[in-house]
Amino acid sequence: MSVIAVVGAQWGDEGKGKIVDMLAEKASMVIRFSGGPNAGHTVHNPYGEFSLHLVPSGIFYPHTACIIGSGVVVSPSVLLDELEQLWKKGVNTSKLLVSTRAHLIMPYHIILDRLEEQAKGAGALGTTRSGVGPAYADKVARLGIRAGDLADKEGLLRRLRFVLEQKNLILTRIHGAPPLSVEEVYDQLCQYADRLAAFIRETEPIISQAVERNEPILLEGAQGTLLDIDFGTYPYVTSSSVIAAGAFAGAGLHPVKMDHILGIMKAYTTRVGAGPMPTELGDETGERIRQIAQEYGVTTGRPRRCGWFDAVATRYSALINGFSGVALTRLDVLDAFDSIKVCTKYKADGKIIDQFPSSTLQLERCQPVYDEVPGWQSPTAHLRRFQDLPPLAQSYVRKLEHLVGCPINIISVGPHREQTIVTKAIL
């Protein structure tokens, strides 16, 4: 059996979708274990170009079962739109399943995400406003509605009346917003229930059987370690456990040996939303990276904050996740630069720091300390073997490997499946 977790090593948008799409060919199951429609996994393959928010990136292989696990919060409307998009391009989705235990994003979650962000003013987190935070908050507050609840319409109505009464108090009394009608929300939920019924299952026994049969299973993460609810740059984080340790609970898989914990990291750094990012470049170099890489959010279209590679942050990600290897993505973006910087340490309060601080206030004061290396200044997108990379690109990869303390198993030099250099086969 091979159980492989694929986890973001930075602030999300590292290119997990492409790597999962590639690895899923040999997997019998891909389980998405965290996040919700805030994620945007871009996949380019023979079916076309897709932005997947909820459906696991293994959906393009008819032999691969795709499961949306209990740790994901599901927006029924986003899921249905995504299915339409896949059907239009001829993708077979009959092996998609949604855990009965996955919580649903309700219309009031989306409204509250917006209102709460507005109320925070300058302290806003810059969320994707997809209702993810409020849905996880309700899960923990035991006010959630789960995918499995859609199967019992009478029970659903009772639960909705109870929950909506409380939500309407918050909407009207705290935010001065209009209340939602139970009947309207219920009618909409019933329509979703009919359309999604075929996908909603007790997925945990199915996963357990796959483990018993020693099948190769991929655990697909969303966002990145630095956005993790516990280990990210709190409070500028998302609301779920996005790290490898969260994969078991979020997938509905009992702890087994993970054969590989693959961290995904870009050859530079990006972040969307508020919060500290020590290597952010507010100058023309940052803009140049953004333009070359088209660093705009898949879910929100927002320009991403861009900067040089931060080895302090990624080394910390490796420590938190126990990466056994790394996939380095978007190396080709740096092809044209005559010199490239890598942050190896921080400087704060007159001291050199080489560990990622747990205090976000301290991180805000951290200035990057850079090593500068010459760029290779030649295209790499067509190369398929490590030894064919320009020597300066090889040394850049080796430098990151050394700084992060993890072997780089995969190098991605373009968005398409074949634009990949594999230095160690994972599946």
Binding site residues, ligand IMP, CB under 6 A: 11-13, 38-40, 125-128, 130, 132-133, 222-223, 227, 236, 238-239, 272-273
Residue of closest CB approach to ligand IMP: 273
Helix (H) or strand (E) segment spanning residue 321: helix 311-321
Nearest alpha-carbon partner for 22 in 420, 332, 384: 420
Nearer to ligand IMP, 272 or 311 (CB): 272
Least distance between ligand IMP and beta carbon 326 (Å): 18
Nearest alpha-carbon partner for 107 in 32, 174, 191, 173: 191
Q: Report how far residue 262's alpha carbon sits from residue 423's, in angstroms, rounded to the nearest whole number.
A: 13
The token pair that represents 137 in the structure block: 């908050």
Nearest alpha-carbon partner for 146 in 159, 164, 131, 134: 159
Among the listed residues 41, 53, 103, 109, the single catalytic one is 41
Least distance between ligand IMP and beta carbon 8 (Å): 8
Least distance between ligand IMP and beta carbon 223 (Å): 5
Q: Is 41 a catalytic residue?
A: yes
Helix (H) or strand (E) segment spanning residue 51: strand 48-52
Nearer to ligand IMP, 210 or 229 (CB): 229
Nearer to ligand IMP, 73 or 164 (CB): 73
Least distance between ligand IMP and beta carbon 252 (Å): 21
Nearer to ligand IMP, 272 or 320 (CB): 272
Least distance between ligand IMP and beta carbon 55 (Å): 14
Nearest alpha-carbon partner for 101 in 28, 238, 205: 205
Place of tokens 């609301």: 239
Residue 379: cis peptide before it, omega within 30 degrees of 0: no
Least distance between ligand IMP and beta carbon 71 (Å): 14
Nearest alpha-carbon partner for 51 in 61, 32, 37: 37
Nearer to ligand IMP, 222 or 262 (CB): 222
Nearer to ligand IMP, 179 or 303 (CB): 303
Nearer to ligand IMP, 54 or 326 (CB): 54
Q: Report how far residue 34's alpha carbon sits from residue 47's, in angstroms, rounded to the nearest whole number.
A: 25
Among the listed residues 13, 113, 149, 310, the single catalytic one is 13
Q: How many CA atoms lie within 13 A of 48 on its CB side?
A: 10
The token pair that represents 268 in the structure block: 């530079």
Question: Could you give the angle at the alpha carbon of 321 between the alpha carbons of 317 and 323, nearest 5°?
Answer: 90
Least distance between ligand IMP and beta carbon 183 (Å): 29
Confirm if 186 and 126 have CB atoms less than 8 A apart: no
- Provide CB contacts within 8 A for 301, sequence distance 6+: none
In whole angstroms, how far apart are CA 340 and each of 112, 333, 336, 377? 42, 11, 10, 11
Residues classed as catalytic: 13, 41
